[in-house]
Amino acid sequence: MPDAYVLFGFPVHHSWSPFIHGMFARQTGQEMSYRLFETPPERFRNDALAFFTGGGAGANVTLPHKRAAADLVNELTRRAQLADAVNTIVCRDECLLGDNTDGAGLLADLTQNLKLRWSSPRILLLGAGGAARGAMAPLLSLEPELLVIANRTAHRAVALAREFAELGPIAGCEFSKLEHRRFDLIVNATSASLHGDVPLVPIDVVDSTTTCYDMAYGAGDTAFVAWAKRLGAARAEPGWGMLVEQAAEAFQLWRGIRPDTAPVLDALRRRAATAARSPS
Ligand code: NDP
């Protein structure tokens, strides 16, 4: 029997992860299975424990279970502790280790795939949910002049900024306080794009030198990417690369081998472009 991996989520049918891990496994010659495991919040804990008791080797975890997964595992990596959320579990010697590879995936996409370089950038992080939290330490590793977190519910941004204050220069605020401030990099970690919306931030945060990055991805431009392009941003990128890079980090944790992400990212982008062209 090949080692068994799953993705826990609710809903999960739309996920690209089986495609990504299938390509990684073929590329690296790994004998493994990877399937979707849809489970509602009230069943997640029992289902996950049953999967691992039954010999499951590892799992990815997506919405809405990332926080519950942090409570489920026996041990957390440092980055999972900082994110207070788990998106990857590996079972070793009957012990469950929880990791969070989202932030590393974001950083790898920005610096390795997109080859973005800054000296003391001014960074704006939109959102204060799980993905934003996981991005804090990786974004601070870019040694920004300032990292501003802004959120629709402002007190969540302020609380997050306070929590990470020891790691670097951070401020938290509401969207309206961003007026007349410019940024080198804006990362959209809100889920607004999933509903075709854009966070209500002042448009002058973007100019022709700004790179805008949406963690969300989809067929065609996300709402945030389209908005950034309309405002003349230097670059506007969706989160496909983050998706593939966080998966590569998980794969390495499970299998001890680093897959080549470039062909997988190319294949995903081609599929997304085809989906955008075909009538719905
Ligand atoms: P959460 O539900 O934890 O957080 C959602 C955040 O979005 C909150 O800050 C919320 O603000 C904000 N928000 C929601 N709707 C709007 C809106 N209309 N306008 C402004 N703000 C809004 O989600 P996650 O943090 O887990 O995920 C965020 C995004 O990141 C999703 O699009 C997800 O798909 C993406 N993601 C991508 C990954 C990748 O690999 N590319 C990996 C992980 C996440 P409030 O506090 O006011 O409710």
Angle of the 262-277 helix axis to the 240-255 helix axis, nearest 10 = 140
Q: Are residues 43 and 20 in the same domain?
A: yes
Q: What is the pLDDT of residue 32?
A: 98
- d(CA 188, CA 70) in angstroms, rounded, equals 24
Phi and psi (nearest 5°) for 3? Answer: -60, 140
Does residue 126 form part of some domain? yes
Our count of domains for the chain comes to 2
Does residue 134 form part of some domain? yes
Domain boundary among 39, 70, 100: 100
Does residue 37 form part of some domain? yes
- What tens digit of pLDDT does each residue of 208-226 get? 999 999 999 998 899 999 9
Is 66 annotated as catalytic?
A: yes
Does residue 67 form part of some domain? yes
Q: Determine whether the shortest distance from the Cβ of 151 to ligand 1 is under 6 A.
A: yes
Q: Tell me if the bond preceding 11 is cis, omega within 30° of 0.
A: yes
Q: Determine whether the shortest distance from the Cβ of 215 to ligand 1 is under 6 A.
A: yes
- What tens digit of pLDDT does each residue of 201-210 get? 999 999 999 9
Q: Please, which pLDDT band fits residue 165 given cuts at 50, 70 and 90?
A: very high
Mean pLDDT of 129-134: 91
Q: Determine whether the shortest distance from the Cβ of 131 to ligand 1 is under 6 A.
A: yes
Per-residue pLDDT at 279 exceeds 70 = no
Q: Are residues 129 and 11 in the same domain?
A: no
- What tens digit of pLDDT does each residue of 91-122 get? 999 999 999 999 999 999 999 999 999 999 99
Q: Please, which pLDDT band fits residue 272 given cuts at 50, 70 and 90?
A: confident
CATH code of the domain covering residue 119: 3.40.50.720
Domain boundary among 100, 119, 152: 100
Mean pLDDT of 183-203: 96
Element (H, E) at 146: strand 146-150
Query: Is residue 142 left, alpha or beta, with left meaning phi > 0 and alpha meaning psi from -120 to 50?
Result: alpha
Smallest CA-to-CA distance from 44 within 20, 30, 62 is with: 62
Centroid of ligand 1 to alpha carbon of 192 (angstroms): 7
Q: Please, which pLDDT band fits residue 280 given cuts at 50, 70 and 90?
A: low
Q: Are residues 132 and 206 in the same domain?
A: yes
Centroid of ligand 1 to alpha carbon of 268 (angstroms): 22
> What mean pLDDT, rounded, does the chain reach?
96
- Best mutation site among 99, 191, 244, 269 for ligand 1 pocket (most ligand atoms within 8 Å of CB): 191
Centroid of ligand 1 to alpha carbon of 171 (angstroms): 19
Q: Are residues 147 and 47 in the same domain?
A: no
Q: Are residues 157 and 225 in the same domain?
A: yes
Instruction: Show the DSSP H helices in the chain as ranges.
Output: 17-28, 41-53, 66-72, 78-83, 102-108, 130-140, 154-163, 223-230, 240-255, 262-277
Q: Are residues 108 and 136 in the same domain?
A: yes
Write down the residue that tokens 């519910």 correspond to.
153
Mean pLDDT of 146-154: 98
Does residue 247 form part of some domain? no
Distance from chain centroid for Cα 261: 15
Burial of 190 (0-12, 13-18, 19+ CB in 10 A): buried
> 8: domain range?
3-100
Q: What is the pLDDT of residue 137?
A: 94
Q: Please, which pLDDT band fits residue 277 given cuts at 50, 70 and 90?
A: confident
